Homo-oligomer: A and B are copies of this chain.
């Protein structure tokens, strides 16, 4: 595989690619529901919270609201959802604690072992829309061995805006072709490819649960197509 020899750094999408947000958020919802004697469909809660994610970032991208990091967007989205799930009575402390559930997402089973292998050869950075504190807290809890936390908050642009990708390559002092975007999402890879990154698609067919309909297959002939991070390491010769 010739692309592997040109690559110096791997830039990772995180939500869905490295960690299972849906399982983790539904468990956190269930726990806070139990504390308050509330029963609800906590998978639907996770899905509803996540569904508000792109529209909120879009308001930042199009300039309707000033720069707001993901903790801030998540919190506004949460406040708008609680009533639907019987949690309108949560106080500030509970809301803040629940909002930080995104800092406590669990990695997919192969993620940590795969990253440890990949780190032997490649610089590993986050290129996520998550903010720095979220990424740092997640990494410390889950053991994700990043070399640096880059991406949206540092670039002040949310993916798929090209500035988010370009800023990451610039901060690493690498030509875009030396950086490989790793994501479970075709649109993320397309935006990375547009600025010259190499691309690796990783299958995460359960990110949205058993009924997932999107990103089940690579939409293009990406440079690498992998079943999980261990397969990615093997395909990159690590």
Contacts and interface: CB of A to CB of B under 8 A. Distances in A.
A26 interface: no
Contact of A136 (B136, B140, B147): B147
A53 B140 CA distance: 34
Interface in A154-191: 154, 171-174
A30 interface: no
A112 to B, nearest CB: 15
A173 B131 contact: yes
A123 interface: yes
B71 A173 contact: yes
Given A71-B173, A153-B171, A171-B153, A139 B147 contact: yes
Interface of A: 71, 123, 125, 131-133, 135-136, 139-140, 146-150, 153-154, 171-174
Contacts of A174: 133
A132 B171 contact: yes
A171 B153 CA distance: 8
B71 A132 contact: no
A123 B136 CA distance: 8
A125 B171 CA distance: 16
A3 B139 CA distance: 25
A14 to B, nearest CB: 14
A150 B136 CA distance: 12
Given A123-B140, A140-B123, A154-B154, A148 B132 contact: yes
A148 B136 contact: yes
Contact of A171 (B123, B133, B139, B171): B133
Contacts of A133: 171-174
14 contacts: A123-B140, A125-B136, A131-B171, A131-B173, A132-B172, A133-B171, A133-B173, A136-B147, A147-B149, A148-B148, A148-B149, A149-B149, A154-B154, A154-B171
Interface centre among A131, A136, A172, by most chain B C-beta atoms within 10 angstroms, is A136
Contacts of A131: 171, 173
Nearest to A137: B123
B71 A136 contact: no
A174 B71 CA distance: 13
A116 B139 CA distance: 15
